[in-house]
Amino acid sequence: MKKVLYLIDTLEVGGAETSILEIASRLENYIPIVVYIYVGSTLRSRFEEAGIKVYSLDIEHKFGFFKAAGLLNNIIKKENPDIIHATLFKAEMVSRIVGPNCGIPVINSFVNDSYSKERYNLLGFSHRLTLNLYKWVDKFTSFRVTKFMSITNAIIENNAKAIGISKQDVEVIYRGRNIDQLNSKIDYAGLESLASQFGAGPIILTVSRLLIRKGYLESIKAMKSVVLEFPSVKYLIAGEGHDRLIFENLIKSLELKDNVFLLGNRKDVPTLLKFSDIFLFPSHYEGQGGALVEAMIFGKPIIASEIPVLEESVTNQRSAILFKTKDVEDLILKIKWAMHNREEMKNFGNEAKLVAENRFNIEKVAMMHDQMYDRVLSNYTKLK
**Tens of pLDDT along 317-370?**
999 999 999 999 999 999 999 999 999 999 999 999 999 999 999 999 999 999
Tell me the average pLDDT across 14-37. 94
What pLDDT, on a 0 to 100 scale, did the predictor assign at position 384?
59
**Which residues lie below 8 Å from residue 313, measured CB to CB, with a gap of 6+?**
288, 289, 292, 293, 296, 355, 359
- What pLDDT is stored for residue 59 in this prediction? 93
d(CA 248, CA 310): 27
Query: Please, what is the end-to-end C-alpha distance for the chain in angstroms?
Result: 21
Closest CA to 111 of 175, 181, 164, 177: 175
Same domain, 28 and 143: yes
- Residue 221 and residue 93 share a domain: no
Reduced to 3 states (helix: H, G, I; strand: E, B; else coil), residue 25 is coil
CB 164 within 8 A of CB 196: no
How many whole angstroms separate alpha carbon 51 and alpha carbon 284?
38
Task: Give the whole-number percent of the chain exceeding pLDDT 90.
Answer: 85
The number of beta carbons lying within 10 Å of the beta carbon of residue 92 is 25
Do 104 and 384 touch, CB atoms closer than 8 A? no
Q: Into how many domains does the chain fold?
A: 2
Q: Do β-strands 234-238 and 260-264 pair in parallel, antiparallel, or remain unpaired?
A: parallel
Instruction: Kindly state whether residues 334 and 226 are assigned to the same domain.
Output: yes
Same domain, 353 and 365: no
Q: Of 299, 309, 305, which is closest to residue 355 (Cα–Cα)?
A: 299
137, 246: one domain: no
Per-residue pLDDT tens for 207-227? 998 999 999 999 999 999 999
Does one domain contain both 194 and 152? no
29/41 same-domain check: yes
pLDDT at 46: 92
CA torsion sign for 106, 110, 112, 114 is: positive
* Confidence (pLDDT) at 296: 97
202: cis peptide before it, omega within 30°? Answer: yes
Pair 20, 158 in one domain: yes
Arithmetic mean of pLDDT over the chain? 94
CA neighbor of 176 nearest in space, from 367, 34, 315, 13:
367
Least-confidence region, from 113-127, 137-151, 231-245? 113-127
- Check whether 202 has a pLDDT greater than 90: yes
The percent of residues in the chain predicted with pLDDT above 70, rounded, is: 99
Q: pTM for this one?
A: 0.85
Residues 345 and 365 in one domain: no
Q: What pLDDT is stored for residue 273 in this prediction?
A: 97
Per-residue confidence at 125, pLDDT binned at 50, 70, 90? very high
Same domain assignment for residues 22 and 162: yes
Give the CATH number of the domain where residue 113 resides. Answer: 3.40.50.2000
Is 253 found in the same domain as 149?
Answer: no
Domain assignment of residue 81, given as a range = 2-176+361-383
**Pair 311, 375 in one domain:** no
